[in-house]
Amino acid sequence: MLAQKADDIYRDSNDKAKQSITQRILANIKRDENNVSGALDYYKESLALATEIESDFYQIKTLIPLAGMLIDTDMEEAIKLLKSALTLARKNGYKAYTLESYRYLRLAEKRRGNTAASLQYAEQEIALSEVIQEDTSNNELALEKAKLHSLRLEIELETLREKNKLDKLELARKNNEIEIAQQATTISELELTKNRYASVALALLLAVCLAAILLIYRRFMLSKQHNRELDYLATRDPLTNCFNRRVLFDLMERDFARKPKPEDYCVIMIDIDYFKSINDSYGHTIGDLVLRGVAKTLQKCVRQNDIVARFGGEEFCIVLPDTSSHQAMRIAENMRETIQVCRFDDIAITCSLGVSSIRFNATTPSEFIDQADLALFKSKSLGRNRVTLWSEALARAQD
């Protein structure tokens, strides 16, 4: 094997930098052969050499694949290595390796169930991707400017050439008065030629400028559209198109922080009755169809400023600003009746609902939702397919 022979040569010559490279190459080969233990040994040896020669770049190139192999067997060590790679990449301004570190950290945190950390790394990954994309756009713009500068120099050179011809003709006119008329005609023709070249060059310059402007504008619009799509995906549940749980709590935290706190503000918790039986009987595809159908029905039942969010599983949460508890109960009852008469792939379903109002003195969004969730539990305990308003009696009974 060539890599092994090269490693032996560098080991004999004590060239630790090149030996670190060959150890990493051998590790990649073992990894591709699914020889996990062999690959880990080579990666660790490569990392030790890179650390010994104090090469941040070689450490980064070894840390990331080593961590990638450890994710399935030693999650804590993998995350530790990835954070080390991230620190070195940031320190040296290696944006590509910083981006790769974010991606592996996002996947690692997601795999061990740390959704908040995974989301944070995802946001940093998106932000750095946009920076890299902007750098690429700036480089392309610089290239276009260089082309324009080159074109301008060519035009100036052509103009100088024409001027040189005119100077020679003028000298010939002075030396030979007999040829004055002929020289004047020649000069006129050259002037026309120069003007023609200038017109063509100007038209070409304008065309190039227009093309550059159109390219920059197109990239700007694509980037803007991409940002809008990312913002939309970050706030929506992909299955039901409702707001996701993170956006729900962000909005409620904002409303609870308002001074003064709103006087009329309600929340409804909704749970699809016997949803597990639907999944077990008809399959998850039909279950997803039912979730989408219920979400669409709820969105039709609310007002423009109301918020419909998927809380999790078959549960939905609806925020009703500027709404009294009596109004909220009417809205909830309308939702219950509407869903009861709907058919989703010829499947009849019902929902249980719980309602709470800010007048019941909840101090945080979580406590507010817990009140509505307790009322929902009461609806389910009373036989489902009903609406219950939270009260102190419910809370005492729960205690």
Site of tokens 């020289």:
183
Amino acid code (one letter) for 98 = T
Dihedral over Cα of 48, 50, 51, 52: its sign: positive
Phi, psi of 320 (to 5 degrees): -120, 95
Going by C-beta distance under 8 Å and a sequence separation of 6 or more, which residues neighbour residue 115? 109
Site of tokens 């008469």:
341
Specify the 3-state DSSP secondary structure of 15.
Answer: coil
Strand order in the sheet with 387-389: 307-312, 315-321, 265-272, 351-357, 387-389
Name the residues annotated as catalytic: 314
Rounded (5°) CA angle 323-325-331: 70
Burial 319-358 (b: 16+ CB within 10 A, else e): bbeebebeebbebbeebbeebeeeebeeeebebbbbbbbb
